[in-house]
Amino acid sequence: MEAALKTFFSSSRFAVVGASSDTAKFGHKVFVWYLQHNLPVTPINPRVPEVSVKSSNYVTVASPNNLSSPGDTSLSIITPPAATMKVLQEAKDAGVPAVWLQPGSYNDEVMAFARKEFDAAIGGTEGGTSGDEGWCVLVDGEDGLKLAGREWSKL
């Protein structure tokens, strides 16, 4: 999993599929994590035109196909497994190199597809995650940043 983490965080851009303005949702918490770590992040949500974090608004895109540089963007995905499979197919077609399937976003079929089709796919519980529910950027992300040699300062 170390190689996958390094590949994921070697991207120059990031996006959160399922980003939300609702502070109770993990799509919001994961999006905020990227902001707090000063990483360039785009919210992906086809249902709303923007996501709000505190007093700032961030324009959303509807799918990975709408990213400005999908080949340079790693995706964190927080959607139900059926929606995740559709997102993964779009991401593959767009040229996204790496994905992080947050807990609850995958089943065995989704995880197998992700591992087959992407340079790096993070998810599941094997390989040293610190979280009880599987690999999560909120729990394991800082270790991934270190593996990729990324300097960061939490806001």
* Count of the separate structural domains present in the chain: 1
Residue 31 falls inside a structural domain: yes
Query: At residue 149, does pLDDT exceed 90?
Result: no
Residue 106 falls inside a structural domain: yes
Residue 153 falls inside a structural domain: no
CATH of the domain at 77: 3.40.50.720
**What's residue 123's pLDDT?**
92
Q: In angstroms, rounded to a whole number, what is the distance separating the alpha carbons of residues 112 and 114?
A: 5
Query: At residue 24, does pLDDT exceed 60?
Result: yes
Residue 35 falls inside a structural domain: yes
Phi, psi of 114, deg, nearest 5: -60, -45
Phi, psi of 60, deg, nearest 5: -90, 160
How many other C-beta atoms can be found within 10 angstroms of the C-beta atom of residue 17?
30
- Residues 112-117: what's their mean pLDDT? 96
Q: Which domain holds residue 44?
A: 2-147
Q: In angstroms, rounded to a whole number, what is the distance separating the alpha carbons of residues 70 and 141?
A: 20
pLDDT tens digits along 65-104: 999 999 999 999 999 999 999 999 999 999 999 999 999 9
Listed in sequence order, the residues at least 6 apart from 35 whose beta carbon sits closer than 8 Å to its beta carbon are 41, 53, 155
Lowest-pLDDT range of 66-70, 96-100, 113-117, 149-153: 149-153
Residue 154 falls inside a structural domain: no
Residue 33 falls inside a structural domain: yes
Query: At residue 129, does pLDDT exceed 80?
Result: no
Rg for the chain (alpha carbons), in Å? 14
pLDDT tens digits along 26-73: 999 999 999 999 999 999 999 999 999 999 999 999 999 999 999 999
Query: At residue 154, does pLDDT exceed 60?
Result: no
Question: 130: pLDDT confidence band, cut at 50, 70 and 90?
Answer: confident
**What's residue 153's pLDDT?**
58
